[in-house]
Structure 1
Amino acid sequence: MKIKILDEAEKDIAIGVYFYESQSEGLGKYFLDSIFSDIESLHIYAGVHIIISDYYRLLSKRFPFSIYYKIKNKIIYIYAVLDCRKKPSWIQERLFN
């Protein structure tokens, strides 16, 4: 299957990189590498994750982030990469607006 990271998800990743890089030099790159590793794992594990309001949710292995995706026509669409420490209402609003 192909993986398509949508624009909003790319922005989410960039925000995470900026945040972690501001915490410690090099941590942003480590975050980016970790998130892409998690996303690449979808080639094997797509569709086995819990479904949250029409999205599959993959929890990142190394950071408190969730990757929300859908599968359509043998393509995995990444809709959002969100910080799990945010309020649940913020996450719901982000996913459905």
Structure 2
Amino acid sequence: MTNFIIGHIIIGQYVGIFVLVILSLIGAFTAMLIPQKWLGLLRVVPLFMGIKTAISNWRISKDSTDDEVPAASEARKNKILGGIISVYTLKVASV
């Protein structure tokens, strides 16, 4: 289990709420521009995104090697960013 620093949780919560508000505003304004009969087709977009990501991850895991090790500072930066993104993802997923 990942050990979260309190700062990661606080920043992740604010980033998550900010992104949700911005995406909601973009979606509301975009919905006014798209014809009503096409809005139903938007339901398949997440499905295609998930399939694309799954195929991409499968290809990456197939091609990657374990020889590559990031530098210590890069690993620390990835850990901090990963903590914030984990909290952000939980925030967005919970809505």
TM-score by length of 1: 0.31
The structure carrying a bigger helix percent of its residues is 2
Highest relative contact order (Cα 8 Å, sep 6+), 1 or 2?
2
Larger radius of gyration: 2
TM-score, length of structure 2 as denominator length? 0.32
Structure richer in strand, relative to its length = 1
